[in-house]
A and B are shown apart, each in its own frame.
Chain A
Amino acid sequence: MKTTRRRHLAAATAVAAGIAFVATGAAAQTMTMAVGAPVTSLDPHYHQLSPNNAIADTIFDRLINEDHRSRNQPGLATEWRAVAPTVWEFRLRPNVRFHNGNAFTADDVAFTLQRLPNVPNSPSSFAVYFRPIARIEIVDPLTIRFHTHQPYPLLPLDMTNVRIVDKETVENATTADFNDVRAAQGTGPYRVVTHRNGDRIELERNDTYWGERPGFQRVSYRMITNDAARTAALLAGDVEFIDQVPTTDLAKLRADNRVRLSETLGLRLIFLGLDHQRAPGENSPFVTDNNGQPLGRNPLRDVRVRRALNMAIDRNAIVSRVMEGAAAPAGQFLPEGVFGHVPGLGAPAYDPDGARRLLAEAGYPQGFRIQLNSPNDRYINDSRISQAIGQMWTRIGVRTAVEAQPWATFIGRASRIEYSTFLIGWGSNPDGSHPLRNIIGTYSRERGWGASNRGRYSNPQVDALLEQSLTELDNEKRERLLIDAMRMAMEDVAVIPLHIQANIWAMRRNLEHTARNDELTRAQDVRPAAR
């Protein structure tokens, strides 16, 4: 009796195990995903570029990870705090091993940070994250301290941009060694098996991963840059997961029951830059009177004109018609829930009559002529958005010509401040200081501010608040400073925010994905769907 029961039990367990095995067996097959932007290198410190960071996240770990809403989560560090105004202490996760079996310790962290400024020929290096650090102190194998030149509240944010490599493997390695897989040994959820430059990366599960168990035995990470081809590959079943779903395919994919979408509002604002460089009494390059003659003044330096141009844009129309709903109208850089978001500052209301009144008040009752410059291959629907704005501005009497060019040509001229007004985008780090410092802050080589301030906006009051925030270690006070600075800049219409893009992925029904607001497409965010 007893034996039979036990036997039954054993049989039942075996069946259950069998089912479980079949279930995981099916899930454990190769998952094939296709991304729209090519990875240029497996070296995580060679090129600061989203596609590279996404694959680096799959292979390596950071001290502080960011969850899908860009909130800090323990990564290779379990806790961190400022132990003194200029000293940050990180406690490291014990018992973590690199893919090649080497143990992870504070030595690897110190080595990684020192490597950042020393990657030869890097077209966009990670050196900025090392620069605030004066000295690195290894307290014990699992405790490390960073001594900074001055109080530096952004150090944890910086650490979310640095992937940790193995000192022993990388000490004498070059970027090419990473691309040949030899040096690409991280602690991350997947390990690299093969890498074919610009074509595909084959990954395999790291069975000893310290975090959540990755969902697939093998992952094939392919690059299909053509939008239509990527969607077709998904529909044909050649790949099971794609990113950067083109807005023109959204309606079709939403209706297709073989496919599911995952989407979230991102951190990328599309906005218009304005010429603040030319003095109020100077001509702006692409502004003329209605007969095409020079105006003799720069109307964009008059806040009433900037407000008028801002109010004349029907953001809801752009979002629903041009963007097919894959964006949200915006009145500031960051979406709600991100550090530094200005509460209550929504997108400006569409008010063409008010805009005309403001123009008349500013001395342009008949309007003027302007050229809006725009890239045509960079942001989602960029040139079409510009066309729409051109029509809206023309409606309030500002006759607008739109010139759209490839990014390669556009960006050089924009950086030489050759335009009067231009459409451009900004993908923020999840901290209010990031857009303020790069886009709004006064251009200054010494301070490293305003490098992307291509309208050369300058407001001493905003600068003062920003300056104060950069050394404020109390996060509450710091956020208040950032909010005040951003509110001030937006009321002054430093730039004209348009909308924040949604990030959209599409997959076969048997998969699930956690949509990230930082646009990164990572294998570990995809899992077999729960039945």
Chain B
Amino acid sequence: MTVYLVRRLLQALLVVLAMSVIVFVGVYAIGDPVEILISPDADQLERERAVVALGLDLPLWQQYLVFLTKALQGDLGNSFVFNEPALKLILQRMPATLELAFGAMFLSILVGLPLGLYAGLRPDSPVSKGIMAGSILGFSLPTFWVGLMLIMVFAVQLGWLPSTGRGDTASLLGLQWSFLTIDGLSHMAMPALNLALFKISLVIRLTRAGVRETMLMDYVKFARAKGLSPARVTFVHVFKNILIPVVTVVGLELGSTIAFSVVTESVFAWPGMGKLIIDSINVLDRPVIVAYLMIIVLMFITINLIVDLTYSLLDPRVRLESKGT
């Protein structure tokens, strides 16, 4: 177990290093941040001053070394745009993104699992066919369009929900959260649903496929033959077995939801990390891009780890040690 963990952490470190090099080279190849940030009427002297102020006068490899030295001391650099520590900027916005992502995950499981179960148990009923057709829409409609439609219908036409922003927040563990207030929840509803739509469809399809497959297994037939109630067969024998793929996918999806909820966050003006990263990319704010991606890499690796651990809990056949050897 320990060997396994250490190995995973080493892998993470390598990925982070490689990623930071790629970002440095990539941003350098795209363009010059000073050209974007500087006032158009700045003269040549002022432009030169700005290049030096942002440390962009050094050769690229030297810039990278400076970054690495500082990073080892826990300083990921200051944002070119805001002149504040990149890490601080990101962490400030993390709660907003986290609660949105978890809200979406919660919705997708709450809605997706029962619908998927139903569609799997009664594959031929018209309701199941309706569910499956609906899930195709969930997959294929573009997020930004659905988001705008939600706003048009529920905020502009019906006036039931607020269109944008985060609403009132309440403090928990020293951070501000929307889900603790009614106003905050009403602000969260649409973006969370928007973000969840794709995942709901995914969970429906995975669950349905799982159920259909498991229902034909010998142990299910045997349980039925033993005279167990259909409810017990479904919720104990079938349910536990279909959870493994669902947990894997939901876990990975959680990662990508946190990391890349850019579209939803900009449509709903949700002040999370996704909006920060896209703004930073637009102005080539390298310290923020690097710091953000480093956090995301670490997060993905952690989530994968948790998924693996959950596996071994759900399925006694999976042994983590055996993976290591």
Contacts and interface: CB of A to CB of B under 8 A. Distances in A.
Interface of A: 34, 38, 40-41, 46-49, 120-125, 127-128, 175-176, 179, 196-200, 222-226, 228-230, 232-233, 235-239, 377, 406-409, 411-413, 415, 426-427, 429, 434, 438, 444-445, 448-449, 451-452
13 contacts: A34-B269, A123-B37, A123-B38, A176-B84, A228-B267, A229-B151, A230-B269, A238-B165, A406-B282, A408-B36, A408-B284, A411-B35, A411-B36
Contact of A123 (B80, B84, B159): B80
A41 B83 contact: yes
Contacts of A121: 53-54, 78, 83
Quick one: which of A197, A222, A230, A449 has the most chain B CB within 10 A?
A: A197
Contacts of A198: 93, 271, 275-276, 279
Given A224-B164, A236-B163, A451-B47, A49 B39 contact: yes
Nearest to A426: B40
A232 B148 contact: yes
Nearest to B270: A199
Contacts of A200: 165, 271
Contact of B53 (A122, A226, A229): A122
Interface in B194-242: none
Contact of A229 (B39, B45, B266, B282): B266
Nearest to B166: A199
A413 B32 CA distance: 9
B305 interface: no
A230 B266 CA distance: 10
Contacts of B42: 48, 124-125, 128, 451
A438 B40 contact: yes
Contacts of A448: 43-45
Nearest to A444: B44
Quick one: which of B39, B49, B152, B279 has the most chain A CB within 10 A?
A: B39
B94 to A, nearest CB: 13
A175 B79 CA distance: 12
A127 B46 contact: yes
Quick one: which of B82, B89, B162 has the most chain A CB within 10 A?
A: B82
A128 B34 contact: no
A438 B41 CA distance: 6
Contacts of A127: 46, 49
Contacts of B162: 236, 238
Given A123-B53, A232-B164, A427-B40, A46 B83 contact: yes
A429 B81 CA distance: 23
A229 B46 contact: no
A223 B275 CA distance: 11
A228 B54 CA distance: 34
Nearest to A410: B31
Nearest to B89: A197
A38 B31 CA distance: 21
Contacts of A239: 164
Contacts of B165: 200, 222, 224, 233, 238
A45 B294 CA distance: 32
B31 A411 contact: yes
Nearest to B150: A232
A124 B81 CA distance: 10
B65 to A, nearest CB: 20
A41 B82 contact: yes
B151 A236 contact: yes
B147 to A, nearest CB: 8
A168 to B, nearest CB: 23
A413 B31 CA distance: 8
Contact of A125 (B31, B41, B49, B159): B49
B163 A407 contact: no
B30 interface: yes
Contacts of B80: 123
B38 A408 contact: no
Interface in B51-101: 53-54, 78, 80-84, 89, 92-93
B9 interface: no
Q: 6 closest Cβ contacts across the A-B interface? A: A448-B43, A412-B31, A48-B39, A123-B37, A199-B271, A236-B155
Nearest to A228: B148
A512 to B, nearest CB: 23
Contacts of B32: 411-412, 415
A176 B267 contact: no
B298 interface: no
B50 interface: yes
A320 B82 CA distance: 39
Contacts of A224: 164-165, 269
A40 B81 contact: yes
Given A226-B266, A233-B165, A438-B40, 13 more contacts: A47-B81, A48-B38, A124-B37, A124-B42, A128-B41, A196-B271, A225-B266, A226-B267, A229-B268, A232-B151, A236-B151, A449-B43, A451-B43
Nearest to A415: B35
Interface in B151-189: 151-152, 155-156, 159, 162-166
A434 B267 CA distance: 37
A175 B84 CA distance: 9
B287 to A, nearest CB: 11
Contacts of B148: 228-229, 232
Contacts of B84: 176, 179, 197
A236 B151 CA distance: 8
A431 B242 CA distance: 72
